[in-house]
Amino acid sequence: MHPYSDSGSKDTRSGFGAGLLELGRTNPQVVALCADLTGSLKMDAFAAEFPERFFQTGIAEAHMIGMAAGLTIGGRIPFTGTFANFSTGRVYDQIRQSVAYSGKNVKICASHAGLTLGEDGATHQILEDIGLMKMLPGMTVISPCDYNQTKAATITIAKHDGPVYLRFGRPKVANFTPADKPYVIGQADVLTRGGDVTICANGHLVWEALEAANALESQGIHAEVINFSTIKPLDLETLLASVHKTGRVVTAEEHQRNGGLGDSIAQALAMHRPTPMEMVAVNDSFGESGTPAQLLTKYGLDAANIVAAVKRVLTR
Amino acid sequence: MTPSIHDLPSQVRRDILRMVHAVQSGHPGGSMGCTEFFVALYFDILRHQSSPFSMDGLGEDLFFLSNGHISPVFYSVLARSGYFSIEELKTFRKINSRLQGHPTTHEGLPGVRIASGSLGQGLSVAVGAAQAKKLAGDNHLVFTLHGDGELQEGQIWEAALYAGAKKVDNLISTIDANGQQIDGSTDEVMPMGDIGSKFAAFGWDVMHIHQGNDLDAVRQGLREAIAKTGQGKPICIVMHTSMGHGVDFMAGTHTWHGIAPSDEQLTAALAQLPETLGDYPA
């Protein structure tokens, strides 16, 4: 059985808010922008404590991204905050030209990603954002798994020179990673050791993968669960070391199959070590309204679906 | 004899035409219409340092070109004001050049602080830079240039709303009102109405430069704009120019928006533009 326990459900967006507040207190170069979702992004504490370093842009995401690029002057480190859909798809060209191509040190922080946004429905449940962002040259892409890791990642990306996309979510989920663990960009974390199958997960599905590993363990299948919170750059070394041992891979993510973590891992394995693989991801469809748990089940992303994917890959 | 600022426009127009002709691509019309503006800005108005170039530009006035397709005039004036060698103009739009079709920071060309070309983004960037200057206690100014057609992009109005509402009064944005865009006149494609009134309604202090191809009128207009800064409003200059100004058969039409002159047309055009400061070596 995996050794992790839920220290109390918390939302990852609150991890972002806590990390941003700490940055405000420790790094005077950090500034923040928000497009009328300060409460939803948990940026209100930063805004209240550092009003001169907080820029409310109104509902104008394209302008917010451009403004963030301009704000980098003098070594400022702008953090933009809005929902993941409005952080990426809505402003893709602004990020592409004014941030990524121009090499600006902007941190694009995106909440309410994926199906677990829940009742708001598919207009807001972006499932393409990781693909959009990872295709941009020079963009770092991170999807942490819980409150603690989101807070740590928020603090770490301020030290990284270059544009970053940081994706997190709305619902309260298990908080199980150590509170004091510094985040290292590009380093995947092996959460359980096992020799039968490698499960690569990120975001909210890391906990589902751990639950799946427990279920598999009781059936005598030993899964190695790896938290691939950084999608780009991908931790090839950790991936290949695990796959060398297991020879079987399942990926799990709250994203389209096209363009997500599984897609990155499939590409890496195809080039370095062709390996039987199954992908737990949304398969070319939009989401819909519902509770996060209902949606994860309906779209095939919960622990039971990860178990089923492991069973399939073991027969190949 | 010391070269006069008045020698520059003719030479810059020669640069523009020769650059565009050499690769048979680029945007000469808007470049020629904004030549006086660029010369006034870089040789008279801006408090800037060309070398060494500082990307941050703290302690300097900054300029952001939002309608990046008029890169030829930008490059010519940057080179002739010392940001890089005049000879480098010959690499415009060629492989392995720092002088990309549209301005970029990616190749490290001194003088360029943001990529532009995809229209409508430069005003937001400039607003951010202006706010960064205020935050840093830097009382220097931020200037931008936009095409009138570019104002059809929605992001411009997001940025305009912000700048007016948040009193970004260290920002001077100039609109190149030449009444032309690629598909035709703005009146044919998308009538712009009263541009000045639109910006005024967004909380800007609006003024006009009626003779945008008269160098001294542009210098005087920019000085008037500077005098308006620091008073709680961003400044908008509606600058009336003629696309293709300086060559009789190119002026006042959208035809030369993105068309290069032929050999014969180049010869005819250059004959109307004295080589005042020396052409860059081809």
- Verify whether the Cβ–Cβ distance A76 to B132 is below 8 Å: yes
Mean pLDDT of A147-156: 98
A61 is catalytic: yes
User: How high is the pLDDT of residue A180?
Assistant: 87
Nearest to B67, CA basis, from B184, B147, B129, B127: B147
At position B243, the amino acid (one-letter code) is M
> Contact, B34 vs B269, CB < 8 A?
no
Backbone angles phi, psi at B262, to 5 degrees: -75, 175
> Between vectors from CA B19 to CA B18 and to CA B24, what angle results, nearest 5°?
95
* Statement: A189-314 belongs to CATH 3.40.50.920: yes
User: How high is the pLDDT of residue B227?
Assistant: 98
User: How high is the pLDDT of residue B1?
Assistant: 58
Helix (H) or strand (E) holding B142: strand B142-147
Task: Tell me the residues of A at the B interface, defined by beta carbons under 8 Å apart.
Answer: 31, 52-53, 55, 57-58, 60, 62-76, 78, 93-94, 96-98, 101-104
- On whether any CB of chain A is under 8 Å from the CB of B104, the answer is yes
In angstroms, rounded to a whole number, what is the distance separating the alpha carbons of residues B28 and B261?
Answer: 9
**HEC states along B23-42?**
HCCCCHHHHHHCHHHHHHHH
User: How high is the pLDDT of residue A8?
Assistant: 86
In angstroms, rounded to a whole number, what is the distance separating the alpha carbons of residues B273 and B150?
Answer: 29
At position B194, the amino acid (one-letter code) is D
Residue B52: is the preceding peptide bond cis (ω within 30°)? yes
Mean pLDDT of B11-24: 98
Identify the closest residue of chain A to B108 by CA–CA distance: A102
Could you report the per-residue pLDDT of A230-241, keeping only the tens digit for each? 999 999 999 999
Mean pLDDT of A301-308: 98
CA-CA-CA-CA dihedral for B69, B65, A94, B26, to nearest 10: 10
Identify all chain A residues contacting B62, using CB atoms and an 8 Å cutoff. 73
Q: Which of B57, B155, B159 sits opposite A73 (nearest CB)?
A: B57
In angstroms, rounded to a whole number, what is the distance separating the alpha carbons of residues B147 and A2?
Answer: 61
- On whether any CB of chain A is under 8 Å from the CB of B114, the answer is yes
- On whether any CB of chain A is under 8 Å from the CB of B106, the answer is yes
Domain ranges of chain A: 10-173, 189-314
Could you report the per-residue pLDDT of A198-207, keeping only the tens digit for each? 999 999 999 9
Helix (H) or strand (E) holding A77: strand A77-83
Q: Which fold has domain A10-173?
A: Rossmann fold (3.40.50)
User: How high is the pLDDT of residue B262?
Assistant: 97
Q: Which of A64, A74, A94 sits opposite B136 (nearest CB)?
A: A74
Backbone angles phi, psi at B136, to 5 degrees: -85, 0
User: How high is the pLDDT of residue B207?
Assistant: 98
Q: Which of B122, B123, B131 sits opposite A71 (nearest CB)?
A: B131
- On whether any CB of chain A is under 8 Å from the CB of B139, the answer is no
Mean pLDDT of B95-104: 98
Query: Tokens 């991170």 sit at which residue?
Result: A142
Nearest to B36, CA basis, from B24, B48, B47, B44: B44
User: How high is the pLDDT of residue A297?
Assistant: 97
Identify the closest residue of chain A to B115 by CA–CA distance: A102
Identify all chain A residues contacting B132, using CB atoms and an 8 Å cutoff. 70-74, 76
Q: What percent of chain A has pLDDT over 70?
A: 100
**Strand partners for A34:** A56, A81
Could you report the per-residue pLDDT of A106-136, keeping only the tens digit for each? 999 999 999 999 999 999 999 999 999 999 9
> Contact, B179 vs B187, CB < 8 A?
yes
Query: Tokens 């195809």 sit at which residue?
Result: A270
Nearest to A128, CA basis, from A19, A259, A225: A259
Could you report the per-residue pLDDT of A178-205, keeping only the tens digit for each? 998 999 999 999 999 999 999 999 999 9
Mean pLDDT of A160-164: 98
- On whether any CB of chain A is under 8 Å from the CB of B121, the answer is yes
Identify all chain A residues contacting B56, using CB atoms and an 8 Å cutoff. 73-75
Superfamily of domain B5-270 in the CATH hierarchy? Thiamin diphosphate (ThDP)-binding fold, Pyr/PP domains (3.40.50.970)
User: What's the pLDDT band for A7 if we cut at 50, 70, 90?
Assistant: confident
> Over 70: is that where the pLDDT of B277 sits?
yes
> Contact, A176 vs A15, CB < 8 A?
no
In angstroms, rounded to a whole number, what is the distance separating the alpha carbons of residues B70 and B34?
Answer: 8
> Over 80: is that where the pLDDT of B202 sits?
yes
Grouping H, G, I as helix, E, B as strand and the rest as coil, residue A212 is: helix
- On whether any CB of chain A is under 8 Å from the CB of B158, the answer is yes
Asked if this assembly's ipTM is beyond 0.90, the reply is yes
Give Cβ neighbours of residue A48 (< 8 Å, ≥ 6 apart).
none
> Over 80: is that where the pLDDT of B3 sits?
no
Cα Rg, chain A, nearest whole Å: 19
> Contact, B48 vs B191, CB < 8 A?
no
Q: Are strands A172-173 and A10-11 parallel, antiparallel or unpaired?
A: antiparallel
Positive/negative CA dihedral, A140, A146, A147, A148: negative
Q: What percent of chain B has pLDDT over 90?
A: 97
CA-CA-CA-CA dihedral for B216, B219, B224, B225, to nearest 10: 140
User: How high is the pLDDT of residue B253?
Assistant: 87
Interface of B with A in 210-239 (CB under 8 A): none
User: How high is the pLDDT of residue B140?
Assistant: 98
Mean pLDDT of A148-164: 98
Identify all chain B residues contacting A104, using CB atoms and an 8 Å cutoff. 114
Identify the closest residue of chain A to B107 by CA–CA distance: A102
User: What's the pLDDT band for A1 if we cut at 50, 70, 90?
Assistant: confident
In angstroms, rounded to a whole number, what is the distance separating the alpha carbons of residues B20 and B28?
Answer: 7
Identify the closest residue of chain B to A60 by CA–CA distance: B158
- On whether any CB of chain A is under 8 Å from the CB of B56, the answer is yes
Identify the closest residue of chain B to A97 by CA–CA distance: B115
Average pLDDT score over chain A: 97
In angstroms, rounded to a whole number, what is the distance separating the alpha carbons of residues A138 and B114?
Answer: 16
- On whether any CB of chain A is under 8 Å from the CB of B48, the answer is no
User: How high is the pLDDT of residue B252?
Assistant: 87
In angstroms, rounded to a whole number, what is the distance separating the alpha carbons of residues A73 and A70?
Answer: 6
Whether A10-173 shares its CATH topology with A189-314 is answered yes
Q: What percent of chain B has pLDDT over 70?
A: 99
Q: Can you state the angle between helices A147-157 and A12-26, rounded to 10 degrees?
A: 40
Query: Tokens 């210098």 sit at which residue?
Result: B219
User: What's the pLDDT band for B55 if we cut at 50, 70, 90?
Assistant: very high
